[in-house]
Structure formats: C-alpha cells, structure tokens
Amino acid sequence: MSKTTVPASSTMTTPAGVRAGALTGRARGARVALRVVQVLLALFYGIASALPKLMAHPTAVESFDRIGWGSGAMYTIGALELAGALALLVPVLQSVAAIALSALMVGAFTVQVTAFDGQNAATPLILIVPLALIAWTRRAHNRELLRLLGRR
C-alpha cells in the first residue's frame, strides 16, 4: 500500500459517526436487532393497523363510529399509520417516523382510556417503547434529513 492510499474502512463512516467495519459483534447484533424491530413494527402498522382502516373493515368502522369520528378520521389515521410504516423502512426517515408514530400512539392511548374505558390502553404504551428506542438510536439521520430539506 502506498503512502497516499488510505484503507476504505478508515474513511467511511455511518450517519452515527461510527467507522464502517469498526463495529464489534455486539454492536452489529444490536443494529440487526433494532432493524428487525423496525421491520416488525412496519409490518404491524402497515398490515394489522392501517389496512383495516383503509379497507373500512367493519370493526374499524364500528370503533370510529363509537367515538364519533366517522370514516374521514379512520381513513386519515390509516393513511398516517401506513406512511409511518413505510417511513420506518427508509433510513433518513426512521427517527422522524418513530416520533410521529409515537404521537399517534399517545392519541390512541387517550382514546382507549376515554372512549373505551381503558380496554386496550396498554397496547399503545407498549408500542411507544420500541418507537422511542428507534427515534433515539436513529437520531443522527435527522441531520441528514435537515440537510436534504435545506437544499430546496
């Protein structure tokens, strides 16, 4: 190797500032585990949560009628959940998507407690935990997103 040649691993960095190839086995395992959680959450929000609302499944229609919001709110929330699910899979949007989905879960918790007597109130709270972890861990992508938005 000549004096002017630099190994690729010493110059390539990830958005978090960690050198590519410098991850230990434990850190790599944590990254893979977090990515698996993101994919599972994206599948949950896209299929189990958004799809019934967007297809006007009778249970979703009944729930939204019960709280007095109607089909407009049902379709809007379904579209937001689907957008959040897809954004969880896009690296530059992961943190923002997790924050937005967390905000939806705060609303879902409030509705569960007030309109449904807390019947399923634990579900949104449980979902906030991995979303907060994703938002925090992937926060370095927010700088890149701001840089991309600043190009306009």
pLDDT band at 19, cuts 50/70/90? low
> Mind listing the pLDDT tens digit for each residue in 101-152?
999 999 999 999 999 998 899 999 999 999 999 999 999 988 888 888 887 5
Say if residues 32 and 24 touch (Cβ distance below 8 Å): no
pTM of model > 0.85: no
pLDDT band at 24 (very low <50, low <70, confident <90, very high): confident
Helix, strand, or coil (residue 116):
coil
- For 47, half-sphere exposure in the C-beta direction (CA atoms, 13 angstrom radius) is 6
Q: How far is CA 131 from CA 91, 99, 111, 123, 150, in A?
A: 14, 7, 19, 13, 26
The pLDDT of residue 151: 77
Q: What is the pLDDT of residue 7?
A: 47
Asked if pLDDT for residue 9 goes beyond 90, the answer is no
